[in-house]
Amino acid sequence: CPPIGLESHRIDDDQILASSMLRHGLGAQRGRLNMQAGTNEDDFFDGAWCAEDDSRAHWIEVDTRRTTKFTGVITQGRDSQIHEDFVTSFYVGFSNDSQNWVMYTNGYEEMMFYGNVDKDTPVLTEFPEPMVARYIRIYPQTWNGSLCLRLEVLGCPLSTISSYYAQQNEVTSTDNLDFRHHTYKDMRQVRTSVGWASPWGGLLHGVDTFVGVGSCVGWIPPWGEPEFRYTAGLHGNEVLGRELLLLLMQFLCKEYQDGNPRVRSLVTETRIHLVPSLNPDGYELAREAGSELGNWALGHWTEEGYDLFENFPDLASALWAAEERRLVPHKFPNHHIPIPEHYLAEDATVAVGTGAVMAWMDKNPFVLGANLQGGEKLVSYPFDTARPETPDHAIFRWLAISYASAHLTMTETFRGGCHTQDMTNAMGIVQGAKWHPRAGSMNDFSYLHTNCLELSIYLGCDKFPHESELQQEWENNKESLLTFMEQVHRGIKGLVTDQQGEPIANATIVVGGINHNIKTASSGDYWRILNPGEYRVSARAEGYNPSIKTCSVFYDIGATQCNFVLSRSNWKRIREIMAMNGNRPI
């Protein structure tokens, strides 16, 4: 049977009860598999349930609120940098009313089950015969250190949730998709079966991480349509994003073929890039352990030991140092900041995958993107480095809300965060630096080095959900995935040409009041995501006179056309003449 949902938080706090607790931060609600301790382990958010003393009479129980066939449990010790606490043996009891308990026996006596040998590695205990009941209770008998435990329960529901309780949002998808975990070979088969695009020519550690470019309709030329990307699997053990992108690939092609007007519009008017697995080595480690049985970190890093999300150049610190010296924008740009030389050196600590992603970003003029992660449920936007808000703060908030508000459960923050308190002010969104500050993130690099606005979408508390949960997770995220993609068509778009109609590449588009510019692509076109409003916009290019106009953005999806024609400037010739005269006034 699959997990009943302690790790994923489908089981609410009030369904978990214990005989005692050492203190509030170590209460029963902290006894979830892979629960992570807060920064200060002595606060309200510690890393396990711990009993108040060393008595063998203590227990922790779970109320499934329905008749359930229990087939096993997964146990884990306390998440801590200080303590080595874990349960080594335990009894198990069952009840239908929480008053009368039946102990699991071997036919002669209560059966002892053996638990953990360290605090981090989950251990699966399968019952020789399943037990049917509503409640399950664990009675620890021996332990290392203090009596502390994290737990998941395996069970198959045999009835609906008691009508006394609010019915949980349990959805069976009507989409005929392949709801299972996919190996590398399986991924290739999915792409082929739905007629998705040929792979991006990038190999990470010999594994084709393919990028599909909206190819349910065949090849789309790299001009005239905005470029959008979803990436997943930066951390190999965060598997849900990988499966959601494979489901999205299937859904888009199926709905396109069935004539869904919304999907047909999205696919034909957008160059869609989908990258399901950026860290295939890490995924293989997590997959070998299995859903629920890899610890919090197994497969998180690449084979070389890098966290891909945090392995990009720290351009934000360079920008702020230049701002403090008042070098921006005359001597130091506020956009398309170059990569520092030390980062490009042969001995630089850069993952192979990071270099491949950076080259991909430089090759394609992306407008909007998101990386799908796990272990929390929220949308995070730049800056991730602990400094002020971006000039596009209001736009980033709009984009983040577009995903979180369309998600079926992301804004249900009354339960708190997955591991600590809710950091999103009950909105499901947060600026990265206010939640988890870090330098060199993919999001900050994308914003400061390219045109692309990149956000991180954290899909849920369980990084590697059981296969049986994929239908529910697809329904939770389907509308959000589509709505977020549609935002690439919000704002202004246009073409910058000279007076002969020739496109001007690398022209700078400046929006009044937003101190962050973008550049035109090689074909002279551009897209600038903006919130509804009226903007003073200018186009500038070396050797041309700037052009300024007012452009309006409306609430409806569909970017406003805002083209520019630039005339040749005489300043280049004037500077040449002045240089010939020693820069003296002519």
* Percentage of the chain exceeding pLDDT 70: 92
pLDDT for the residue 541: 96
What strands lie across the sheet with 366-373, from one edge to the other? 212-213, 271-275, 227-232, 366-373, 453-460, 376-381, 429-431
**376-435, pLDDT tens digit by residue?**
999 999 999 987 899 999 999 999 999 999 999 998 866 678 998 888 888 999 999 999
Residue 43 has pLDDT above 60, yes or no: yes
Instruction: Kindly report the CATH class assigned to 492-573.
Output: mainly beta
Q: What angle do CA 399, 405, 410 make, to 5 degrees?
A: 110
Architecture of domain 13-167: Sandwich (2.60)
- pLDDT at residue 295 in the model: 87
Say yes or no to pLDDT of 207 above 60.
Answer: no
The residue assigned the tokens 């002020």 is 388
The string of pLDDT tens digits covering residues 247-288 is 999 999 999 999 999 999 999 999 999 999 999 999 999 999
Answer whether residue 447 shows pLDDT above 80: yes
For 146-161, how does the pLDDT look when each residue is reduced to its tens digit (9 = 90+)? 999 999 999 999 988 7
Position 184 confidence tier, pLDDT thresholds 50, 70, 90? confident
| Rg for the chain, CA atoms, rounded | 27
Query: Which of 65-69, 122-126, 346-350 bottoms out in mean pLDDT, i.e. has the lowest?
Result: 346-350
* Domain limits, CATH 2.60.40.1120, in the chain: 492-573
Residue type, 444: D
* 38 or 561, greater pLDDT: 561
Which H helix or E strand runs over 550? strand 547-553
Domain ranges in the chain with CATH number 2.60.120.260: 13-167
Contacts of 179 (CB under 8 A, 6+ apart): 173, 247, 467, 470, 471, 474
Q: With 60 as the cut, is the pLDDT of residue 166 above it? A: no
- Please say whether the beta carbons of 277 and 202 come within 8 A: no
pLDDT of 219 strictly over 80: no
Q: Which CATH superfamily is domain 184-202+226-310+350-487 in?
A: Zn peptidases (3.40.630.10)
Residue 383: both structure tokens together:
């800056």
The CA distance from 493 to 495, in Å, is 7
Q: Where are the beta strands (DSSP E) in 183-294?
A: 203-204, 207-208, 212-213, 227-232, 271-275
Is residue 366 within 8 Å of residue 270, measured between CB atoms?
no
Q: What is the pLDDT of residue 171?
A: 63
User: Cα dihedral angle (272, 276, 281, 286), rounded to 10 degrees?
Assistant: 160
User: How does pLDDT run across 73-111, given as a tens digit for each residue?
Assistant: 999 999 999 999 999 999 999 999 999 999 999 989 999
What is the SS3 string spanning 425-464?
A: CCCCEEEHHHHCCCCCCHHHHHHHHCCCEEEEEEEECCCC
Question: Of all residues in the chain, what percent carry a pLDDT higher than 90?
Answer: 77
Phi-psi region for residue 160, left (φ > 0), alpha (ψ -120 to 50) or beta? beta
Domain span(s) for CATH 3.40.630.10 in the chain = 184-202+226-310+350-487
